[in-house]
Amino acid sequence: MSAIGVVSSCSCLRPGVWLLKPGMQKMSSFGLHTAARCAAKDYYEVLVLGGGTGGITMSARMKRKVGAGNVAVVEPSKTHYYQPLWTLVGGGAKQLATSARPTGSVMPKGVEWIQSRVTALDPDKNCVWLENDIKISYKYLIIALGISLHYEKIKGLPEGFHHPKIGSNYSVHTVEKTWKALQDFKEGNAIFTFPNTPVKCAGAPQKIMYLSEAYWRKTGKRSKANIMFNTSLGVIFGVKKYANALLEIIKERNITVNYKRNLVEVRADKQEAVFENLEKPGATEVHEYEMLHVTPPMGPPDVLINSPVSDEIGWVDVDKETLQHKKYPNVFGIGDCTNLPTSKTAAAVAAQSGVLDKTISLVMKNQLPTKKYDGYTSCPLVTGYNKVILAEFDYDAQPLETFPIDQSKERVTMYHMKADMMPFLYWNALLKGYWGGPAPVRKLMHLGLK
């Protein structure tokens, strides 16, 4: 697989560090964790697979339950990324380096960091296999392996990214190419895509479109841009309240939406994008582009496909209310790698972490889980350089809003929450296991109105 077709853990993409400033590539030397390429032990009370958002969050929570020396995290990458910031990086509003920290600096102190990859899971024997045939056993297993990006499933990619005019906010290797393509735009079609697969943060493919439109308005190029959103879906957004608001914005800003269109090929040398019409099997359309933003097809990590812990597609098969595995009671899942029927976002991981903490606590006491996850997820829909519609909803695609205001309205305050407050909360609360989503805030806000 190419360097771009990598796995990301729970809404936090974690490939190489070649785009980072040299100073950010250095590991912390303050003894924040125990790190080794090989495990120090062959058994841990709690073993966590994946060092993205869900993995780090749950390892911090488990450390407080069973002690740091009894918890290990399997994670190969040296750098941890806060990927939700990449929308703003692609739009030129944030620097890529601000989204990255050394993995060692976010690993809970004393927790064993096994810097390796999982190659197989054997839940019937309570063990996993790592590279070099290393076997690690566990009492409890938390799977937080994220979601894989598959640029290679689009003909002409990822090699097409070596050409100008094309970018993608979903990879550390290509997010800055989005900003370059945006700046270099002269005249023609600007095409933004949404694939025919599950994706992480389903709002991101159109967020960069709104930022691009705003940038071209600001720089006097808007009249020369024909902005197109080619989506494999049949709706602009899955929650009607927010979809209606977005459709108004699309109409006001003269954006064309082509539904049921899936990107199948990029001819980067000719600046052409080929789409299949999902309503007419076999029919394709070719569009020239002056700028192309690609959202790649995505799927479960390879190690989970045909694994005993996964469903028929490859997602970890967990109870949607407790996050406990449906077959193996000492196995749990969190985040993008699971088959939870909700939008895959960092906000969802936050809410799931609080529920999973309670679930594991009760399982450890030989009690049945009682706390239930309602599918809460959130998507701050960036509609400009100072505007956000804060979409929050549940399993039933019904709004589940935190604030006692109409969150379908564009608001400056919500933009600052997305751009400034949420990164702070992520690094200082969520990854440390102290933030379980906004449910307590929501209760307080709405109680205050009674």
Is pLDDT above 50 for 29? no
Task: State yes or no: is 38 an active-site residue.
Answer: no
Residue with the bigger pLDDT between 104 and 35: it is 104
* Percentage above 70 pLDDT, the chain: 89
In the sheet that holds 7-9, the strands lie side by side as 12-13, 7-9, 147-149, 298-299
Residue range(s) of every CATH 3.50.50.60 domain in the chain: 43-147+300-446, 151-298
- Residue/partner pairs of 317-326 with CB below 8 Å, 24 or more apart: 320/373, 320/375, 320/395, 321/355, 321/369, 321/372, 321/373, 322/355, 322/359, 322/369, 322/371, 322/372, 322/373, 323/352, 323/355, 323/356, 323/359, 323/373, 324/359, 324/363, 324/369, 325/123
Tell whether omega for the bond before 198 is within 30 degrees of 0, i.e. cis: no
- Match domain 151-298 to its CATH number in 3.20.20.80, 3.30.1330.30, 3.50.50.60, 3.40.50.720: 3.50.50.60
First to last CA, the chain: 56
- Summarize pLDDT for 258-270 with one digit per residue, the tens: 999 999 999 999 9
pTM assigned to the model: 0.91
SS3 178: helix
The answer to whether 44 touches 119, Cβ cutoff 8 Å, is: no
> Could you give the angle at the alpha carbon of 355 between the alpha carbons of 353 and 356, nearest 5°?
65
- The residues, ordered by sequence, that sit 6+ positions from 31 with a Cβ below 8 Å of its Cβ are 109
For 167, counting Cβ atoms within 10 Å of its Cβ (0-12 exposed, 13-18 middle, 19+ buried), the class is buried
- What the block records as the tokens of 13 is 């993409």
User: Which single residue is written with the structure tokens 């690993």?
Assistant: 107
DSSP 143-160: E---EEE-GGGSBTTTGG
- In 389-418, which positions are buried (b, 16+ CB within 10 angstroms) versus exposed (e)? bbbbbbbebeebbbbeeebbebbeebbebb
- Return the pLDDT at 444: 63
Q: Which helix (H) or strand (E) holds 261?
A: strand 261-267
- Summarize pLDDT for 317-330 with one digit per residue, the tens: 999 999 999 999 99
Query: For residue 405, which phi and psi values (nearest 5 degrees)?
Result: -140, 170
Residue with the bigger pLDDT between 385 and 29: it is 385
The answer to whether 55 touches 73, Cβ cutoff 8 Å, is: yes
SS3 123: helix
Of the listed 10, 12, 201, 337, which one is catalytic?
Answer: 201
The answer to whether 336 touches 11, Cβ cutoff 8 Å, is: yes
> Could you give the angle at the alpha carbon of 449 between the alpha carbons of 446 and 450, nearest 5°?
100
Stated length of the chain:
450
- Summarize pLDDT for 193-245 with one digit per residue, the tens: 999 999 999 999 999 999 999 999 999 999 999 999 999 999 999 999 999 99
**CA neighbours closer than 13 Å in the CB half-sphere of residue 446:** 10
Is pLDDT above 60 for 23? no
- Return the pLDDT at 3: 36
The residues facing 71 across adjacent strands are 46
Of the listed 10, 12, 337, 379, which one is catalytic?
Answer: 379
- Match domain 43-147+300-446 to its CATH number in 3.10.20.30, 1.10.10.10, 3.40.50.300, 3.50.50.60: 3.50.50.60
Task: State yes or no: is 201 an active-site residue.
Answer: yes
Confidence band for 1, pLDDT divided at 50, 70 and 90: very low
- Summarize pLDDT for 364-414 with one digit per residue, the tens: 999 999 999 999 999 999 999 999 999 999 999 999 999 999 999 999 999
Query: For residue 232, which phi and psi values (nearest 5 degrees)?
Result: -75, -15
- The residues, ordered by sequence, that sit 6+ positions from 252 with a Cβ below 8 Å of its Cβ are none
